[in-house]
Amino acid sequence: EPEVTQTPSHQVTQMGQEVILRCVPISNHLYFYWYRQILGQKVEFLVSFYNNEISEKSEIFDDQFSVERPDGSNFTLKIRSTKLEDSAMYFCASRTDSYTGELFFGEGSRLTVL
């Protein structure tokens, strides 16, 4: 069964450092997303990406965040200068063009900012 894969599974970084989280969505999917879950809190929408551009972003997704799909298969989330409060589990998700209600999520990348 096709799946969304994410790397790394866990990254520890120092505050102020840049971090790139990588995702390989399911190959025939057209819509891509990043969500995050801070420990003990809800899963929150960060950004959606379609047709090589951001289609929607939340207020969390400020100038420190960026996304790109550099090579047609990978979908990356970059945090330019990490803050302590960026520590969370980051989930990549994707879906097809016809909405059947199903987002496929990856297993997540745990980011720990020290």
Residues of the shown chain interacting with other proteins in the complex, contacts defined by CB under 8 A: 4, 31, 33, 35, 41-45, 48, 50, 55-56, 91, 93, 95, 99-108
Q: How far is the CB of 82 from other proteins (least distance, A)?
A: 22
Residue nearer to other proteins on the CB measure, 14 or 102: 102
60 near 90, Cβ under 8 Å?
Answer: no
Distance between CA atoms of 4 and 21, rounded to whole angstroms?
Answer: 13
Residue nearer to other proteins on the CB measure, 14 or 98: 98
Matching residue, tokens 């302590």: 84
Q: How far is the CB of 57 from other proteins (least distance, A)?
A: 10
Q: How far is the CB of 112 from other proteins (least distance, A)?
A: 14
User: What backbone torsions phi and psi does residue 86 show, to the nearest 5 degrees?
Assistant: -80, -10
- Those residues whose C-beta lies under 8 Å from the C-beta of residue 6, and which sit 6 or more positions away, are 21, 22, 23, 24, 90, 91, 92, 106, 107, 108, 109
Residue nearer to other proteins on the CB measure, 44 or 68: 44
Residue nearer to other proteins on the CB measure, 17 or 55: 55
